[in-house]
Structure 1
Amino acid sequence: MIWPFKRSETRAAPDPSWDNMRALVPSGPINSTTAQGVAAVYACVAAISETVSTLPLHLFRDTDGTREKARAHPLYKVIHDTPNPEQTAMEFRELMTASVLLTGNAFARIVRGSDGQVRELWPINDVSVLRLSNDRLAYEYTDRGVVRRLLDHEVLHLRHRIGPDGVLGISPISVARGVVELAQSEQDHGVSTFRNGARLSGVLETAQVLKPEQKTALKDSWSAQYGGASNSGRTAVLEAGLTYKPMAMSLEDAEWIEARKFNVYEVCRLFRVPPVIVGAMESANYSNSVELNRQFVTLTLRRWLTMWEQGIEAKCLTEAGRRIYFAEHSVEGLLRGDSTARASFYASGISAGWLRRSEARELENLPPVDGIDDQPTAGTAPTAPTKPYPSKEAGQ
């Protein structure tokens, strides 16, 4: 028997007391696409996916406790250079990571060679996960109008926190829909306000009694001359005893700006991203910026880096291969834009003995230098070769 994983959902009837809040309902349903219209959501997804995709990802070979890059293995090129003929490794991993962040899942079709080794990875969309009669998983997707089915060993499936079905990842957007909806509502409110001239509603007063058609004509004339952002600041000319009376407080009085700032922090909590990473600098200063960046690596990126490493090992390596090979990111790539930090990092490693000069040159993509590891460390005097004292017989 084949059955798809689907989560049922029951919604309560709307509360009639909220009818007066209809103006704050977002312009469309919140999903992985519309959620990116909120700047904080887009920035958090970009911060994680772009950073993860630009970190070097290597395949290592571990033999007798020593590790070396397995450049000769076919999988090394797939995860480090080109997963398929149409995408670079950065583009592929950025797409997959962003998909997990927005939808909870990301899928890639695995193409193997005649030797069983992975040769290509192709991202696929609109995938249905099925449970087969033998308790194995299958993945169905549409390829140019044709429904195709892949077995679990033919798909690289990356997931956010797994849901109640035990298979599909939960979308952060769907779990915290209210956070994104509130941010979208406040954004729509601001757009509507500025589109109408950055002024809140008011009334035109007159002592005369106007007919319905006169009211309509006056309203249309006022909107045409003074409505919209392009007409903001124009001088209104009122006739026939008309006076203009504002009826609402300003955006600052309503604390709309403060609410917008608070929603940035709420979205950052959703994705576990320090606000300073997405440009919210209110709580950042020179003394804590380094610590916030460290938290971004240890508390935010670590989960996503581990997801990639374990996913590749589980689906792209054979059982025998997993005993020898493993995938790992080079987190030192985060120092690539800071030459001073890189120099300090290499110097401390070399002086402490856990990093060799040749390894530092390799990390900097510099050509090897013969005998560079045999040179003395800076600040230490070279050891002079010792000579044996001459014996008495030699002096005789």
Structure 2
Amino acid sequence: MSIIQRIATRLGYEQRAAGGDPYWSNFASLQSGPVNATTAQGVSAVYACVSAISETVASLPLILFKRAGEDRQRATDHPLYAVLHDQANEQQTALEFREWMQAAVLLRGNAYAKIIRRNDGQVSELLPMSPDRVTVLRVGDKLGYEYTDYSGQVSRLLSSEVLHLRHRLGDDGVLGVSPIAAAKGVIQLAISEHQHGINTFDNSTRLGGILKIPGKLNQEQKTNLAASWSTQHGGGTNAGKTAILESGVEFQPISMTLEDADWIAARQFSVTEVARLFRCPPTVIGDLTYGNYSNSVEMARQFVTMTLRRHLVAWEQAISKQLLTPAGRVMYFAEHQVEGLLRGDSVNRADYYTKGIAAGWMLPSEARRLENLPTIEGIDHANSTQAA
């Protein structure tokens, strides 16, 4: 605890948010090691879910709009527009920054960025801060943040100086709880299954059993025989070699095969469990066990509406609350453009545009713009003439 923290605690001004951050320091080290953000990503399903969500969220256009009566227009002249859409800071593009922040939310439950403002109060940069180096503090009914940089310097920031994104809130109502922390047993099982497979192939799936020898051996003879057998026949590189037994030695296999242990089925179930944990359709992370052409489009739609929507809204509301001034919130708002993910294949898009144009709520020029096609002068007028 720093000197400032001890003084504040002694005076009764500070109370740490329950739970602390990071969560990993309290995790028990189980047989296959502790479950944390690093070990969890060793599970391919976890890495795929985090990648699918964070990469998609980061690559979606995040546009700052300006209200103009009943309509809206892009606020390209606002300083925050470039920070969200082009470059977040001197080292990171907007995509790299948002991908890093979203991955931190999924893996650690919280993501933090220091807000750098110009003299007029507008945001000019967002600097990411490692969740492992941030402590959330309660000062009365307000929040503060203590950040220790890589040089060991400690700084305290007000809530207005930090962009804080959170996963589902914990009991303290302040810190987010990541899916990994909430259901670490699911990840632990997947890690154990993965380790089991490695150990099985390292020790070779063949020639596992008992060596039966006539007579009685002393301890030294047992040790030498076991070491000799392991050297010649243990490990994947020795799998399949022919064993030569002498002096009445008999080999009796007892090991279970991978099929006998239902290892493959268990690995498949872990993929489904992890996908469920992140609310990610299995087809999105490459599990096509139940995927086919007819339901893949619907799975992609569910990925947007059921997986991404919560994260997208969290970004939009955090931007409004923490990056815009009170006066700015009245005029400006940020919004992701997800139409490209929802349009589906070419047949469905063509049907969507045809019905929209026929019903009068979409213009041909708007349909071409959504398809990134060049503008055709007078196409809207020609279409209205043909309809008449």
Amino acid at match of 1:242: V
Q: Does the C-alpha gap of structure 1 residues 128 and 50 become closer, same or farther in structure 2, counting only changes over 3 Å?
A: same
Offset at residue 362 of structure 1 (A): 4.1
Which has the greater radius of gyration? 1
What SS does the corresponding residue of 2:116 show, helix, strand or coil? strand
1:289 aligns with 2:289: no
Specify the alignment match of 1:95 in structure 2: 100
Aligned-residue offset at 1:306? 0.6
Deviation digits for residues 217-266 of structure 1, max 9, x if unmatched?
11111111111111111111111111111123211011111111111111
Alpha-carbon spacing, 1:348–1:117, altered in 2? closer, same or farther (3 Å): farther
Q: Give 1:280's aligned amino acid.
A: D
Q: Secondary structure of 1:249's partner?
A: coil
Give the one of 47, 59, 65 matched to 2:64: 59
Q: Secondary structure at the match of 1:67?
A: strand
**Residues 89 and 281 (structure 1), Cα distance of their counterparts in 2 relative to 1, 3 Å cut:** same
| 8 Å CA contact retained: 2:364, 2:383 | no
Is 1:43 aligned with 2:55? no
Superposed CA deviations along residues 51-80 of structure 1, whole A, max 9, x for unmatched, are 111111111111211111111111111111
Could you tell me whether the CA contact under 8 Å between 1:56 and 1:333 is conserved in 2?
A: no
Do 2:66 and 2:73's aligned partners in 1 also have CA atoms closer than 8 Å? yes
Identity across the alignment (%):
58
Distance 2:290 2:48 in 1: 18
Do the aligned partners of 2:86 and 2:93 also contact (CA within 8 Å) in 1? yes
Matched, 1:138 2:156: no
For 2:164 and 2:128, the matched residues in 1 are separated by 10
Return 53-62 or 350-359, whichever deviates more.
350-359
Task: Report 1:221-300 matches (<5 A).
Answer: 221-300=228-307
1:375 aligns with 2:382: yes
For residues 207 and 245 of structure 2, what CA distance do their matches in structure 1 show?
Answer: 19
Q: How far did 1:211 drift?
A: 2.6
Q: Point out where structure 2 has 5 or more consecutive residues left out of the alignment.
A: 1-12
SS at match of 2:386: coil
TM alignment of 1:1-396, pairs within 5 A: 1-7=13-19, 25-125=30-130, 126-133=133-140, 135-143=141-149, 144-199=151-206, 201-334=208-341, 342=349, 344-365=351-372, 368-376=375-383, 381=386, 383=388
* Whole-Å separation in 1 of the counterparts to 2:376 and 2:124: 34
Give the whole-Å Cα distance in 2 for the aligned partners of 1:381 and 1:364. 22
Secondary structure of 1:61's partner? strand
Once the two structures are superposed, what CA deviation does each residue of 1:290-313 show, in whole Å capped at 9, x if it has no partner?
221111111111111111111111
Instruction: Give the letter aligned to residue 185 of structure 1.
Output: S
| Conserved 8 A contact 1:55-1:334 | no
CA displacement 1:143-180 (0-9 Å, x = unmatched)? 22210111111111000111111111112111101111
Alignment TM-score, normalising by the size of structure 2: 0.88
Residue 50 of structure 1 aligns to which amino acid in structure 2?
E
Note the C-alpha offset of 1:345. Answer: 4.5
Q: Measure the CA separation in 1 of the matches of 2:82 and 2:59.
A: 15
Q: One-letter code of the match for 1:79? A: L
SS in 2 for 1:33: helix
Q: Is the 8 A contact 1:205 1:242 kept in 2?
A: yes
Aligned residue in 1 for 2:8: none
Q: CA deviation at 1:212?
A: 2.1
Number of matched pairs: 367
CA gap 1:264/1:323 in 2 versus in 1, 3 angstroms: same
- Which residue identity is paired with 2:120? D
